[in-house]
Structure 1
Amino acid sequence: MTNKRKIFNDPVYGFVTIPSDLIFELVQHPYFQRLRRVKQLGMSELVYPGAIHSRFQHALGAMHLMNQALDTLQLKGIMIMDIEREAAQIAILLHDIGHGPFSHALEYSILDKVDHETISSLLMEKLNKEFNGNLSLALDMFKGSYHRKFFNQLISSQLDMDRMDYLNRDSFFTGVAEGTVGVDRIIKMLNVVDNELVVEEKGLLSVENFLVARRLMYWQVYLHKTCISAECMLINTIKRARFLIKNNTKLEVPKHLLPFFEKSVGAGDFKNNPNILEAFVKLDDHDIWYMLKSWQYHPDKILSYLSESILNRKLFKIKIGTNLDFAELKQEVFNDFTKAGIDSSDFEFLYSQNEISNSGYIPKSSNIKILMKNGTIQEVSEASDLPTIKALGNIVKKNYLCYAKDVYLQFN
């Protein structure tokens, strides 16, 4: 008989135990095993060479933290049934199962505004049928329809197990020490009041550190200008490939990827066409790298240039700042493209212009509540005496322009 209570040796937390037979079977499922082949941070390894950890590791880590959080709440007298515990662990384990390769870069290029939460939900429903309805409670918790609200807050909120794991894990693998979070301390300070998750006042400093660390990680890692440049190049490469396919140009594309190149796939396609969902769960980072390696030799100069440049880290130049006017710079770039003999209809594949934003804490989204020693509950920005915590609610926006450089040498 197979022992299903396996132990993983995690570099961040040490030993992580699979808590039930059902969870073991979910971990073993091809949908979940695919996450081994999807990197957590996409293109960030081009900046931080150690950032090669996977979504598989992150999901197991988040489940481990969920287990610790539930232990804490039970010790404080919160009644949690075994069925609820397993459901919460399943919900957090599968919360990222709908992520595609290179995460948000691919959401903007092969999908039509379909976020990974939507796909995760569809895959969980499919798994629920396969496992005879045993994921029904996990689905309710994931969607926020379960009457005990704190379970959903542990899965998806501004202080959930997902964020706590990815901040700690991404900080560990990138070496960006500013992202390190006192996860153990925060979890030990969790409590439930009126069915909602709160943090006891003794944990306020740790929550403050968590919010500041999250903001710093966004600027230093997730929104690092080199990562943005690389993602823009990947998006443009996929756009170019789709353009060529629509114009009947032969391209090397894995069969399961073709539906996403032939048309923009929206949420309705996922819900109404089971073949689309099945094709999606075959996608991983290896498909994208395979295509780039193949396309670098394609006769289309733009596709081969973009593919070869990504493979060899010859990235677009990027200018980024607050309220920058790029009109003059863009005209210079376009003049260079023209001198290199590039047709104006092809300019869109060689530059990107957009905006990024970063907010460490959005009170309107879901409050982090602090249980004060006198029994009152305050929202964290009210409880904190740090002006930086109040300022974290302000959304900071920057605009950027990234573009191909030395195009004359590349295209002549």
Structure 2
Amino acid sequence: MSDPIQDPPGLAPYACRPSMSRGRLHADSRPDLRNAFQRDRDRIIHSSAFRRLEYKTQVFVNHEGDLFRTRLTHSLEVAQIARTIARALGLNEDLTEAIALAHDLGHTPFGHAGQAALNDCMTDYGGFEHNLQSLRVVDQLEARYPDHDGLNLTFETREGLVKRCPLANAERLGAVGQRFIDGTQPALEAQLTNIADEIAYNSHDVDDGLRAGLLDLDALRGVEWIDTLYRHVETDHPRLGGRRQVYRIVRELIAGQVNDLLTTSRERIEAAGPDSPAAVRARQQPLIGFSPDMYARHRALKDHLMENLYRHYRVHRMTTKADEVVRTLFRRFMGDARLLPPAFRTTPVEQSSPGGERGQARVIADYIAGMTDRFALEEYERLTDPRKLT
């Protein structure tokens, strides 16, 4: 049997290697058939937080339709795109997949509307940001092991979960927060997954928006990039229409971004010449990214989606409902901690101690952020509808 921690073949010098990992927060047993990053991936997949992503909003609330993307399907699509690019660049696919699958573990119910509402509720208590919450989930909130909290993931996976971090929070994060203080970069696998996330949600929000009838293909052609892709598809398949036509456009949309990212990133890496992950981390600017032309196309599409999809009146209606649900839950729980399940309560003594109210607010934020869309709506009804007594 081969060495269980043997590095995968074909890795570039600047790729992260499990044998050279900066380790875990807690001592761990020796791997058996999997390397350290493969174990991270498996721990994430088996976590409760990962399963809950199936019922968390991407754009459309879970009950609005069975075919729309959720946080779970989005995470799988990010992983697929990221692994393809990682393989082409000689990066570590297992690490890339682990980061992709875990990147949304800290997301609230109701997507960005839920995060905005919870962040506003937490203004006086340190705020709320879903990337930091993802790290909190894997470091503290998952309860699976007898001798420590969290999933005990490697530094490299944890590093990839924190895309942005205010300096006020960076110091308390320890090693994974140091780059925000120093102004340096994460490993290439983390940089890659960040861009793969954007490729996935921009492209697939187009697909879901058209499926829902919130986006109009003729109006979408007002984006020059989409019009070019439409004309390519029309030339190659003149009789194609309906969902097949949309699928082909979205497919080319993804392929164009992936190919540009690969070409541009290769050129940057070759010019910089990093010979190790440490050399990558020491840089002040990322090496993974789009060309200026593709970045402009990407922004134009993003702006169109913001105006015509995310601000569509039907989405806005759900956004206002989500805001009301999250704010009401937070307000009720802060007003009376006995309304919380026992595992999320603090005692009156704890609440009155220095920092007690702040601690209680963080526990409530953990509880709300961990809810699925459906559970949040049910909890809201239980707290506000006199006919719902339990």
Question: What TM-score comes out, normalization by structure 2 length?
Answer: 0.53
2:318 maps to which of 218, 230, 234: 230
Q: Distance in 2 between matches of 1:138 and 1:270?
A: 28
CA RMSD of aligned residues (A): 4.4
> What secondary structure, in the 3-state scheme, does the structure 1 residue paired with 2:191 have?
helix
> What secondary structure, in the 3-state scheme, does the structure 1 residue paired with 2:68 have?
coil
Q: Distance in 2 between matches of 1:123 and 1:258?
A: 15
Indicate how the Cα distance of structure 1 residues 115 and 133 shifts in structure 2: closer, same or farther if over 3 A, else same.
Answer: closer
After superposition, residues 21-170 of structure 1 pair within 5 angstroms as: 22-43=40-61, 52-74=68-90, 80=91, 82=92, 85-110=93-118, 111-112=121-122, 113-126=127-140, 133-143=152-162, 145=179, 149-156=187-194, 160-170=195-205
Indicate how the Cα distance of structure 1 residues 270 and 42 shifts in structure 2: closer, same or farther if over 3 A, else same.
Answer: farther
Indicate how the Cα distance of structure 1 residues 254 and 283 shifts in structure 2: closer, same or farther if over 3 A, else same.
Answer: farther
Deviation string, structure 1 residues 121-159 (Cα, Å, up to 9, x no partner): 112324696788542211233347486654332233xxx
Q: CA deviation at 1:119?
A: 0.5
2:341 maps to which of 255, 260, 271: 255
Structure 2 counterpart of 1:140, one-letter code = E
Deviation string, structure 1 residues 2-56 (Cα, Å, up to 9, x no partner): xxxxxxxxxxxxxxxxx9565244212212111111121255987xx67732101
Indicate how the Cα distance of structure 1 residues 136 and 277 shifts in structure 2: closer, same or farther if over 3 A, else same.
Answer: farther
Indicate how the Cα distance of structure 1 residues 254 and 282 shifts in structure 2: closer, same or farther if over 3 A, else same.
Answer: farther
Q: CA deviation at 1:60?
A: 1.0
1:197 aligns with 2:216: no
Q: CA deviation at 1:64?
A: 0.9
Deviation string, structure 1 residues 381-406 (Cα, Å, up to 9, x no partner): xxxxxxxxxxxxxxxxxxxxxxxxxx
Structure 1 counterpart of 2:114, one-letter code = L
Aligned length: 261
The answer for the alignment partner of 1:378 in structure 2 is none
Q: Distance in 1 between matches of 2:39 and 2:342?
A: 31
> What secondary structure, in the 3-state scheme, does the structure 2 residue paired with 1:101 have?
coil
Q: Which has the higher helix share?
A: 2
Indicate how the Cα distance of structure 1 residues 274 and 168 shifts in structure 2: closer, same or farther if over 3 A, else same.
Answer: same
Question: What TM-score comes out, normalization by structure 1 length?
Answer: 0.51
Indicate how the Cα distance of structure 1 residues 257 and 229 shifts in structure 2: closer, same or farther if over 3 A, else same.
Answer: farther
Indicate how the Cα distance of structure 1 residues 114 and 282 shifts in structure 2: closer, same or farther if over 3 A, else same.
Answer: closer
Q: Distance in 2 between matches of 1:229 and 1:136?
A: 40
Structure 2 counterpart of 1:61, one-letter code = E
The answer for the alignment partner of 2:245 in structure 1 is none
Q: Distance in 2 between matches of 1:60 and 1:275?
A: 29
- Identical aligned pairs, as a percentage? 12
Contact residue 150 and residue 197 of structure 1 kept, 8 A: yes
Deviation string, structure 1 residues 352-384 (Cα, Å, up to 9, x no partner): xxxxxxxxxxxxxxxxxxxxxxxxxxxxxxxxx
Contact residue 256 and residue 282 of structure 1 kept, 8 A: no
The answer for the alignment partner of 2:8 in structure 1 is none
Structure 1 counterpart of 2:154, one-letter code = L
Structure 1 counterpart of 2:130, one-letter code = H
Q: Distance in 1 between matches of 2:47 and 2:63?
A: 27
The answer for the alignment partner of 2:305 in structure 1 is 217
List runs of 5+ in structure 2 lacking aligned partners: 1-36, 164-178, 221-225, 227-249, 273-279, 281-285
Indicate how the Cα distance of structure 1 residues 198 and 107 shifts in structure 2: closer, same or farther if over 3 A, else same.
Answer: closer
Deviation string, structure 1 residues 51-72 (Cα, Å, up to 9, x no partner): 7321011111111111111122
Structure 2 counterpart of 1:117, one-letter code = N
The answer for the alignment partner of 1:362 in structure 2 is none
The answer for the alignment partner of 1:185 in structure 2 is 256
After superposition, residues 259-274 of structure 1 pair within 5 angstroms as: none
Q: Distance in 1 between matches of 2:366 and 2:331?
A: 24
Contact residue 256 and residue 280 of structure 1 kept, 8 A: no
Q: Which has the higher strand share?
A: 1
Indicate how the Cα distance of structure 1 residues 91 and 295 shifts in structure 2: closer, same or farther if over 3 A, else same.
Answer: same
Deviation string, structure 1 residues 153-174 (Cα, Å, up to 9, x no partner): 2233xxx111111112222122
Q: Distance in 2 between matches of 1:268 and 1:168?
A: 44
Deviation string, structure 1 residues 78-97 (Cα, Å, up to 9, x no partner): xx3x4xx3223212221111
Contact residue 98 and residue 119 of structure 1 kept, 8 A: yes
1:286 aligns with 2:383: no
Q: CA deviation at 1:239?
A: 4.0
Q: Distance in 2 between matches of 1:136 and 1:294?
A: 40
> What secondary structure, in the 3-state scheme, does the structure 1 residue paired with 2:287 have?
strand
Q: Distance in 2 between matches of 1:44 and 1:279?
A: 19
Indicate how the Cα distance of structure 1 residues 20 and 207 shifts in structure 2: closer, same or farther if over 3 A, else same.
Answer: same
Structure 1 counterpart of 2:206, one-letter code = S
Q: Distance in 2 between matches of 1:273 and 1:247?
A: 10
